[in-house]
Amino acid sequence: MTALTPCGDWRASYRADTTIFPTRNSRIALLLGILLLCCAPLVFGRFELSLLINIGFLGIAALGLNILVGFTGQISIGHAAFFGLGAFVSAYLHERYHVPVLLCIPLAGIFTAFIGLIFGAPAARLKGLYLAIATLAAQFILEDFFARAQWFTGGVAGRMTESPVLFGFAFDRDESYFYLTLAWVIIMFTAAANLMRSRDGRALVAVRDHYLSAEMMGINLAYYRTLSFGIASLYAGIGGALYAHYLLFASVEAFNILFSIQFLGMVIIGGLGSVMGSLMGAAFMVMLPEVTQMGADLLAGSSIDRALKLGASISFLREMVVGAAIILFLIFEPDGLARRWRLIKAYWKLYPYSH
Amino acid sequence: MDTSLLLQLTLNGLIVGMLYGVVAMSFVLIYKASQVVNFAQGEFLLVGAWVCWWFLTEWQLPFYAGFAFTLVFMMLFGLVLQVVVLRPLIGEPVISVIMATIGLGIFFQALMKWIFGVFAKPFPPIFAMEQVRVLGLEVQTVYLASLGVSLLIMAGFGWFFKASKHGLAMRATAFDQQVAQSLGVSVPKVFAMSWAISAVVSAVAGVVVGVVNGVSSALSFYGIKVFPAVILGGLDSILGAVLGGVIVGLLENWAHYIDSQWLNWGNMFQIAPFYGLVLILLIKPYGLFGTKNIERV
């Protein structure tokens, strides 16, 4: 029985310590999970699929932010601006230079990473709340730039774009786009999981845990802080590009401060410093408005609904729920859904001796 | 060159800047006392202004009574927020605390939109809308009154910290929490008090802006304008906050002047303080009057 790791720490070599899959069965379980997801278009309707696609590209961007916030300990309140930059760059490359969309997506990621490095270089000197305030300024400056740069973003009207096409096959339906998103999710999450096993990943964590000690051990602080900003922007750019080619439209107003805060919410709810947690956080943040909507629909027509005008003010209600979820998680579950997931796994593993 | 416009904008900048200064001061108060960066400062203005508006229009109270009730409400509001949300987060990393205040900000902004709607609503007329000539400029009495209120609050702060016992306890806590505790200062009480005072003072600023421009969710933008002001002045300096606020007020109005006269880019008014903010962070991250943080391992 190799399904379960015995309790206690049995890792005796570096190889065992850095492995992604502690047992053979955990690898099989993950592959099975991916296989199950591949069957999703056969089971789900359009609405559920669109939710899954949303979770996919938001999860990629949230993972980027988690590498910055959760692994490196640098905070950023401007993630949505980079997400938007990726969306616009990809759309612009396709329309202006007729680059195939499938190529546009990684190119947008690389370009956004480059811009992120430029913003990250001055940010490398800052940390904590100073960095939070600086990235807040970056958010407003980039937003202002988007609104100003008509040639790039289409201004107030927004920019239309097209679906990806591969050898004449268009990813223009939810079913096909789902597979594209899934592929990118697998690529980006595998890359992040492997980054954390590498020398660079350990350096990032060291910078977070104690930056002065890290510097004494020879870790170049400025280099790794800037690098982390670049990686976060890369993920945001790819997520944004996937967003643009899914909605076939990107508008300036979408990438506001509230969206940035939602990304931070995903990271916190999912669990700071957890790769899979980012995806869970994104799923939570995508499902939250839907659940709110369902709750409001359930009450529709009742006296509560009439007294509180639920139907008319559902958009405010959604914002409130986001704010409340962030606060409640911070107070009651600061390590996020990832920890809850570990606890559930441990409960089943130790059942019935869970204490 | 349009000299009278420049003068008018400078005066505007001064008046708005004083209000920024007041809000920045209450932001610094919280930061100094409890090391919490409050991203929900703008929502204090918003909540205060709406509550006062509600007392005046729905309950038809006279201004002084409605205003007094608002201040009492805001005091309780600040206390409850500190005790319920911020106290459990003591000892958590900076990012958690920042995120909690951001969450509070979203929550209350959406709540206010839900209760009071998204459109700006004017206060019932309180002061006669007269024009006064100051140095050859037409100035509304409301603006002068707001300037007076700002100065009054600042003087009040000065007295509170210099002369009162509670102010001394707060300064002691800001200096060193453990030392203050060992001298009999109740640190949790000081934290709660700082939030209460900050909420009250912000609400005064919110009501003043509401009386001048009408109440709307745009008020919460004052909370974001606070950041350039406090970074400029130094995060832990009350004098610096006031000065930073005035500078930001002047900066945005002058940017507006330059923009309207020569550049015609539009929106410079909103965005100029943030360029200033980035510049300051690069050159002098501890601001004009802030204490430089020396770290030891």
- Picking from A251, A259, A256, the residue whose alpha carbon sits closest to that of residue A156 is A251
Q: What is the share, in percent, of chain B residues with pLDDT greater than 90?
A: 21
Contact A133, A139 (CB under 8 A): no
Residue from A148, A327, A332, A335 whose CB has the most chain B CBs within 10 Å, to mutate:
A327
Contact A233, A116 (CB under 8 A): yes
Q: What is the pLDDT of residues A47-70, one digit of tens each?
A: 888 999 999 999 999 999 999 998
Task: Determine the pLDDT at residue A251.
Answer: 86
Asked if B37's CB is within 8 angstroms of A129's CB, the reply is yes
**Residue B137's beta-bridge partner residues?**
B134
- By Cβ distance, the residue of A132, A141, A258 closest to B274 is A141
A9 located within any domain:
no
- By Cβ distance, the residue of A137, A212, A331 closest to B278 is A137
The reply to whether B119 touches chain A by the CB within 8 Å rule is no
- CA dist A232 and B182 (Å) reads 45
| Minimum CA–CA partner of B113 in chain A | A316
A36 located within any domain:
no
B191 located within any domain:
yes
B292 located within any domain:
no
- CA dist A180 and B168 (Å) reads 63
Token couple for B28: 């610094």
Which residues 332-351 of A are in CB contact (within 8 Å) with B?
334
Find the domain containing A149 and state its range.
Answer: 41-350
The reply to whether A129 touches chain B by the CB within 8 Å rule is yes
- CA dist A12 and A276 (Å) reads 25
B174 located within any domain:
yes
CB-based contacts of B65, cutoff 8 Å, min separation 6: B55
Task: Determine the pLDDT at residue A335.
Answer: 85
- Picking from A35, A215, A62, the residue whose alpha carbon sits closest to that of residue A127 is A215
Residue from B35, B80, B99, B270 whose CB has the most chain A CBs within 10 Å, to mutate:
B99
Neighbour tally for A156: CB within 10 Å: 10
Number of domains in chain B: 1
Asked if B106's CB is within 8 angstroms of A144's CB, the reply is no
Q: What is the pLDDT of residues B270-295, one digit of tens each?
A: 788 888 888 888 787 777 777 776 66
Token couple for B211: 């009386």
* DSSP for A20-67, written as a single string: S-SSHHHHHHHHHHHHHHHTHHHHS-HHHHHHHHHHHHHHHHHHHHHI
Contact B254, B275 (CB under 8 A): no
**Degrees, nearest 5: CA angle A54-A56-A60:** 120
Number of domains in chain A: 1
A261 neighbourhood in chain B, CB within 8 Å: 102, 106
- CA dist B255 and B258 (Å) reads 5
CA distance A79 to chain B (A): 14
CB-based contacts of B34, cutoff 8 Å, min separation 6: B82, B86, B190, B191, B194, B195
Q: What are the backbone angles phi and psi of residue A197, rounded to the nearest 5°?
A: -90, -10
- The band of B176, judged by pLDDT with boundaries at 50, 70 and 90, is confident
- Least reliable range by pLDDT among A14-23, B59-68, B174-183: A14-23
Q: Is the pLDDT of residue A156 over 80?
A: no
- CA dist B112 and B119 (Å) reads 11
Omega prior to B285 cis, within 30 of 0: no
- Hey, which of A23-37, A332-346, B60-74 has the most confident mean pLDDT? B60-74
- CA A145 to mean position of chain CA atoms: 24
Asked if B106's CB is within 8 angstroms of A322's CB, the reply is yes
Which residues 93-112 of B are in CB contact (within 8 Å) with A?
93-96, 98-100, 102-111
A212 neighbourhood in chain B, CB within 8 Å: 295, 297
- CA dist A75 and A78 (Å) reads 9
Task: Determine the pLDDT at residue A2.
Answer: 43
Asked if B278's CB is within 8 angstroms of A134's CB, the reply is yes
* DSSP for A92-106, written as a single string: HHHHHH---HHHHHH
Contact A224, A251 (CB under 8 A): no
Q: Check residue A13 and report its DSSP letter.
A: S
| Minimum CA–CA partner of A323 in chain B | B103
B296 located within any domain:
no
Asked if A313's CB is within 8 angstroms of B231's CB, the reply is no
Residue from B95, B118, B293 whose CB has the most chain A CBs within 10 Å, to mutate:
B95
Find the domain containing B207 and state its range.
Answer: 3-283
CA distance B95 to chain A (A): 7
- The band of A15, judged by pLDDT with boundaries at 50, 70 and 90, is confident
Q: Is the pLDDT of residue A162 over 80?
A: no
- By Cβ distance, the residue of A122, A129, A327 closest to B282 is A122
- CA dist A233 and B216 (Å) reads 34
Length of chain B, please? 297
- Please state, in angstroms and as integers, the Cα–Cα distance from residue A346 to each residue in A12, A18, A349, B199, following that order: 22, 20, 5, 45
- Picking from B33, B9, B13, B5, the residue whose alpha carbon sits closest to that of residue B235 is B33
- The band of A87, judged by pLDDT with boundaries at 50, 70 and 90, is very high
CA distance A323 to chain B (A): 4
B235 neighbourhood in chain A, CB within 8 Å: 129
Q: Tell me the CATH number at B32.
A: 1.10.3470
The reply to whether A126 touches chain B by the CB within 8 Å rule is yes
Q: Is the pLDDT of residue A36 over 60?
A: yes
The reply to whether A128 touches chain B by the CB within 8 Å rule is yes
ipTM of the complex: 0.85
| Minimum CA–CA partner of A259 in chain B | B106
Asked if B107's CB is within 8 angstroms of A327's CB, the reply is yes
Q: Is the pLDDT of residue A3 over 60?
A: no
- Picking from B7, B53, B18, the residue whose alpha carbon sits closest to that of residue B213 is B53
A8 located within any domain:
no
Considering chain B, what is the average pLDDT of its residues? 85
The reply to whether A304 touches chain B by the CB within 8 Å rule is no
Q: What are the backbone angles phi and psi of residue B36, rounded to the nearest 5°?
A: -110, 125
- CA B146 to mean position of chain CA atoms: 14
A5 located within any domain:
no
Q: What is the pLDDT of residues A294-336, one digit of tens each?
A: 888 887 777 777 677 666 778 888 889 999 999 999 988 888 8
Token couple for B288: 């004009």
B295 located within any domain:
no
Asked if A324's CB is within 8 angstroms of B107's CB, the reply is yes
B289 located within any domain:
no
A4 located within any domain:
no
A313 neighbourhood in chain B, CB within 8 Å: 113-114
- CA dist A45 and A210 (Å) reads 48
- Picking from B205, B289, B211, the residue whose alpha carbon sits closest to that of residue B249 is B205
A187 located within any domain:
yes
Asked if A324's CB is within 8 angstroms of B103's CB, the reply is yes
